[in-house]
Amino acid sequence: MSGSETMTLAAAATAAGLVNAVAGGGTLITFPTLLLVGTPPIVANATSTLALVFGTAGSVFGYRRQIAAVKPWLSRFVPVSLAGGLLGGILLTRTREDLFAKMVPFLLLFATVLFVAQGAFRRFAGFAPRADGGMGPRHYGVWAAVVFQFLVALYGGYFGAGIGILMLASLGYLGLTNIHEMNGLKTVLGSLINLVAAVYFIFAGLIDWPKTAVMAIGAVAGYYFGAHYSQRISQSRVRQIITAVGFLISAVMFYQQFR
């Protein structure tokens, strides 16, 4: 790599870490950048996934206090996240990307709309008042969320751009209202999805290690500062940022797929 390529990759990974720590969608920064410096598409996807896995360590540390509050949900979502991430990674190397890629912008747009309107739709998505006056999912609502998380993990292992938006939408319908706690849970699940896919990519020989090393350093910094400083912003402002990122990612994907 030249000096300019090294700086470009490090900057892209830092920006991706910042975006992922708040909402998700960092892959849309790292993946095109890797293509720009001449990396083959599948290798670029695998390299981007592994680099961002290293970066999530900084984000998980930044959300350590919020993660403690959502531990009960981990037992439900971790197994399907691991299974879906592995299966998605396998599918990446064995199926055509073009048809699946055309579905991505619709999926992201749908999830963003759900996230924006989750308060209005929650009443129709399997939620009922709890004894304490709060809102909680009915039994079938929880299982629907588990199935949805598996599908998110499947997509995450395959490509992964925007899985944060999808998970935040799902967590909102489960009754979680603290956006920072939701981001903490999303970060743990997203890191597991990417980790299991990245392990498969390593054994499949799809990693460009020099580029991964450069991007991992930038991603760690971006994730940590994104997780740390996003918690100093009001929840309403973070929701606005997430909404903006979701619509922006959708627009970019529509442009890339249907221009």
> What is the DSSP annotation of the chain?
--HHHHHHHHHHHHHHHHHHHHTS-THHHHHHHHHHTT--HHHHHHHHHHHHHHHHHHHHHHTHHHHHHTHHHHHHHHHHHHHHHHHHHHHHHHS-HHHHHHHHHHHHHHHHHHHHTHHHHGGGTTEEE-TTS-EEE-HHHHHHHHHHHHHHHHHHHHT-TTHHHHHHHHHHHTT---HHHHHHHHHHHHHHHHHHHHHHHHHTT---HHHHHHHHHHHHHHHHHHHHHHTTS-HHHHHHHHHHHHHHHHHHHHHHHH-
Structure tokens at 237: 């402002």
Q: In the structure encoding, which two tokens stand for residue 30, read together? A: 């790292």
Highest mean pLDDT (candidates 18-27, 57-66, 216-225, 230-239): 216-225
pLDDT for 130 equals: 45
The pLDDT value recorded for residue 80 is: 95
Q: Which of 1, 39, 50 is nearest to 204 (CA)?
A: 50
pLDDT at 177: 76
Q: pLDDT band for 135, please (50, 70, 90 cuts).
A: very low
pLDDT tens across 144-198, in order?
A: 888 889 999 998 898 877 787 788 878 877 777 787 788 888 888 988 998 999 9
Please give the tally of structural domains in the chain.
Answer: 1
Compute the average pLDDT of residues 126-137. Answer: 45
| pLDDT, the chain, mean | 80
Distance (Å, whole) CA 72 – CA 251: 35
Average of per-residue pLDDT across 33-48: 89
Is residue 140's pLDDT more than 70?
A: no
Comparing 46 with 102, the larger pLDDT belongs to: 46
* % of the chain surpassing 90 pLDDT: 24
> HSE (CB half, 13 Å, CA atoms) of 20?
41
Record the tokens describing residue 86, joined without a space. Answer: 């592995």
Q: Which of 42, 79, 76 has its CA nearest to residue 200?
A: 42
Count the Cβ atoms, other than its own, within 10 Å of residue 71: 10
- The C-alpha atoms of residue 191 and residue 167 are separated, in whole angstroms, by 12
| pLDDT at residue number 7 | 94
Q: What does the pLDDT average to over 104-119?
A: 76
Which residue has better confidence, 32 or 154? 154
- Statement: residue 204 has pLDDT above 80: yes
83 has a pLDDT exceeding 50: yes
**Range with lowest mean pLDDT among 14-23, 126-135, 219-228:** 126-135
128-137 mean pLDDT = 45
Q: Residue 79: which domain range?
A: 3-258
Residue type present at position 202: I
